[in-house]
Copies of this chain bind each other. A is one copy, B any other.
Amino acid sequence: MKSFTKYLLFKTKKRMEFINITEEVNQAIEDSKVKEGLCHVNAMHITSGVYINDAENGLIEDIKEWLETLAPSGKDYKHHLTGEDNGDAHLKRMIIGHEVTIPITNGKADFGPWEEVYYAEFDGKRDKRVIIKIIGE
């Protein structure tokens, strides 16, 4: 069994920002030399997520507006009694999910059409990391 680990670093300029990391995922799979296996991609912070969806700017705006409706910022979350102001970020990332697993077939990410991997930042302007962990052979 082979394994491979890579960390991606982020410090977004905006509080909420989505970044396409498909190329980094594909590169990690190539570097791992794994031909058949699983590639796990995981936001290592509790106010950000990783998801797979379309690389279409209109949809990305739709997702952001939709998340704001379902988990609004600016509310009196109990979490804010700690001094934090990011209660909504914790909730938004729970809808989006914080991890994806991508099957590897014949040495490549076995994506369907239009599948793109995104890092979703909900409490930016801070140092954040994503881990890519690949196992297989």
Contact surface of A with B, Cβ cutoff 8 Å: 1, 3, 5, 36-38, 40, 42-46, 51-54, 56-59, 61-63, 66, 70-71, 77-82, 87, 90-91, 93-105, 110-115, 129, 131, 133, 135-137
Note all chain B residues with C-beta closer than 8 A to A131: 103, 110, 112
Can you list 30 residue pairs at the A/B interface with Cβ under 8 Å?
Answer: A1-B137, A3-B36, A5-B105, A36-B135, A38-B38, A38-B133, A40-B101, A42-B103, A44-B111, A44-B115, A45-B113, A45-B115, A46-B54, A46-B114, A52-B98, A54-B79, A56-B82, A58-B78, A58-B82, A63-B90, A63-B94, A66-B71, A66-B91, A70-B70, A94-B95, A94-B97, A97-B97, A99-B100, A103-B133, A110-B131
Assembly CA distance A57 to B102 (angstroms): 31
**Pick the contact of A135 from B38, B54, B111 — CB < 8 Å?**
B38
Q: Are B58 and A81 in contact (CB under 8 A)?
A: yes
Q: 5 tightest A-B contacts by CB? A: A44-B112, A58-B78, A103-B133, A3-B36, A59-B79
